Structure 1
Amino acid sequence: MERKIYIIFMVVVISLLFPHAVFADIGPKPSIKLIVLNPPEDEYYLDLLVDYDKKSSYSKIREYDGLNKDMIRILKEYHEDGWRPALVTGTRVPLFGKLTGQREGDSMVHNFSYVGTPDRFKVIIVEKSGKVTVSNDIIDRKAFKSIVYFDYATNRLWESSAVPAYIKQFIFTFTATLIVEGIILILFRFSLRKNLKPFIGANLITQILLTLVVYSAMYFAGSMAAFLIYIPFEIVILIIECKLYKKFLRQHSARRRVGYAVVANLTSFLLGMWAILQVWRFY
């Protein structure tokens, strides 16, 4: 039975992976979404400060971009304690971003992305008046898709925590799984009332494991890593649930219990893959 389960999963996996196997650079890239709180009232440019030497550097900033030359000059001349602006002086590998941000409510948002996204950085702001502001803090980036806040009023810089996102994701996936697999349980003519404890218990265990493993991979390595880990890990989840349901579900034969586990997990697997691919699209 386990061999048949594995074959079914491999067929699904190959069919899902085949459309994405053509291009080497289709995966999501690291990024930083930098939110400036209490931003300057004056026009300003913002850059990331990096602390490595510029050799064979890439720069996306050009004089003909219509930027303020005096502000660019101030940025280019900044070099203190080994820190220098990444966009205007260049990075080892390409970094995409703009010196100007977009207003969202009372805050300004700046986006940086691609393989040159720094793991360690500070923030510098140069205003039209010539005023230069540098963050007091240094960020050692933890997340693949990092959200960082800079409070201009206090010069404080920090990266948002993953814990609230983990909790929110667990609540969503656990609830959705209970609904989907609960419907399938009833369709297999199991009594939900008689099997409530093993049903909730098995899903609680597997969803905690799934959240810790798959969504940790998404946080630290991106949705491509989560996509690749999710496939084999779901096989592990399937085997665990087959054994649990075979032993603890009441009513019907062992074969039907295992059959329910296979159908329920395949359905959850496909819905989970769809959800990860939807996240992938936005990166």
Structure 2
Amino acid sequence: MKEKLLRTCLVLMAALALLTTTALADMGPKPQLRVRVENPPQGLYYLDLIAEGGLDRTHPNLSDEDRAELDEGLLQSLLDAVPDGYHACLAQGTIAPMWGDLTAREDGVHFFNYVGVPAAYRILIVTESGESWVTGPLTRPVLQSSVSVDWADKSVSTPPVWLAYVLQFLATFLPTLVIEGVVLLLFGLSSKKNWRVFLLVNLLTQIGVFCSLGLTALREGVGLGYYLLFILVEVAVLTVEALLYRRFLTGTSRGRATAYGVTANLCSAAVGWLLAYPVWNVLSALC
């Protein structure tokens, strides 16, 4: 009877997992590229991303209704300007679907979004006056990034990615120091030696957190996979810090030092869980 009940529970859990996976398959952050055009061409122009490869197994990203609203002649000029060995991602399609803007929005930005946005690309601009320009090869270093194109001097600039990495590290390191430092005071463990241990332990573990969670957030976004990894990483950090504090904190018992490590990490992990998405959202706007 117990074995039958166990098998039933396992089947139900597997079915639930399958349903959950299906429901969440399209959830979470998606690749995005924001292209801002400075000193844009006079009159109508189209801008598209082009990527290497042919048109095998492409997904049409422009519907018949979308095409009906476009200038047929300018669209054909764009297709004619695509270099050999490349394809226009929005005008001709991609292996996975994506959405985008051939024409700029009111703020001068072209948005390209969804899973088909290429990681390696070039930008093609064609104008109604007959001009065309293709940038050199570019890459999307993080999940959601931006690039600025100056039509007047035919140049391209991108935000410094290192800044996003530094801010991502500080966004977890500094709040952790504040929260766990307050808990250290509340546990009555404040001493010169203990503060040195506290700083060194947190620097060590936060470097590990950045190399796992921080880089994951920037490159893949904060979604279901990130939060699953978050749990595993925080369990590891809690274990490591509790053991280190048990060994190196002075003026207290090992049990109290271990309790501090567990309590401090639970508090900082709770705050990190809540701030993960807002922090990533802000940093994505800077990339």
Q: Alpha-carbon deviation of 1:51? A: 2.0
d(CA) in 1 for partners of 2:239, 2:115: 37
Question: Paired residue for 1:8?
Answer: none
Aligned to 2:244: 244
Counterpart secondary structure, 1:88? coil
Distance 2:279 2:111 in 1: 17
- Give, as a single letter, the amino acid of the residue that structure 2 aligns with 1:199: F
Q: Per the alignment, do residues 35 and 272 of structure 1 end up closer, same or farther by CA in structure 2, a change over 3 Å counting?
A: same
Q: Tell me which residue corresponds to 2:134.
A: 134
Higher mean alpha-carbon deviation, 182-191 vs 272-281, is at 272-281
1:87 counterpart SS class: coil
What letter corresponds to residue 29 of structure 2 in structure 1? Answer: P
**Aligned partner of residue 58 in structure 1, secondary structure:** coil
1:230 partnered with 2:230 = yes
Secondary structure of 1:102's counterpart equals coil
Mapped partners of 1:24, 1:93: distance in 2? 14
Aligned AA for 1:226? Y
Uncovered stretches (5+) of structure 1, i.e. residues with no partner:
1-16
2:101 to 98, 101, 104: 98
Contact 1:134 1:155 in 2 (8 A): no
Partner of 1:52: 53
Is residue 75 from structure 1 mapped to residue 78 from structure 2 by the alignment?
yes
Q: Which runs of 5+ in 2 are unaligned?
A: 1-16
TM-score (norm 2): 0.80
> CA, structure 1 residues 200+103, in 2 after alignment: closer, same or farther (shift >3 Å)?
farther
Q: Aligned runs of 1:130-209 on 2, under 5 Å?
A: 130-135=130-135, 137-157=136-156, 159-191=158-190, 193=192, 195-209=194-208
Give aligned pairs, total. Answer: 261
CA distance in 1: counterparts of 2:160 and 2:228, whole angstroms: 24
- 1:231 positional shift: 1.9
- Please name the residue that 2:9 is paired with: none
Q: Distance in 2 between matches of 1:25 and 1:280?
A: 19
Aligned-residue offset at 1:27: 2.1
Partner of 2:6: none
Give distance in 1, aligned partners of 2:84 and 2:230: 43
Deviation for aligned residue 1:39? 2.8
Task: Report the aligned-residue RMSD.
Answer: 2.6
Q: Give aligned-pair identity as a percent.
A: 33
Q: Which amino acid aligns with 1:149?
A: S
Q: CA deviation at 1:260?
A: 0.9
1:126-185 per-position Cα deviation (integer Å, ceiling 9, x unaligned) = 2232321211x1124332223333332343345544211111222232221111111111
Please give the residue correspondences for 1:251-266 in structure 2 after superposition, counting only pairs within 5 Å.
251-266=251-266
1:110 partner letter: H
Q: Could you tell me which amino acid in structure 1 is paired with residue 169 of structure 2?
A: F
Secondary structure of 1:241 counterpart:
helix
Separation in 2 of the partners of 1:208 and 1:38? Answer: 42
Q: Which amino acid aligns with 2:97?
A: P
CA distance 1:93–1:195, change in 2 (3 Å): same
- In structure 1, distance between residues paired with 2:104 and 2:76: 19
Tell which deviates more after alignment, 233-242 or 213-222: 213-222
The 3-state SS of whatever aligns with 1:223 is coil
Given residue 186 of structure 1, which amino acid in structure 2 is its aligned partner?
A: L
**1:192 to partner: Cα distance:** 5.1
Deviates more, 1:271-280 or 1:256-265: 271-280
Deviations 1:239-271 (A, max 9, x none): 221122112212221111111111111111111
Q: Tell me, in whole angstroms, the C-alpha distance in 1 between the residues paired with 2:235 and 2:261.
A: 12
* 1:125 maps onto 2:128 in alignment: no
Equivalent AA in structure 2 for residue 78 of structure 1: A
SS at match of 2:117: coil
The letter for the 2-side match of 1:81 is: D
Counterparts in 2 of 1:217 and 1:239: CA distance versus 1, 3 Å: same
Q: In structure 2, the residue corresponding to 1:33 is in which secondary structure?
A: strand
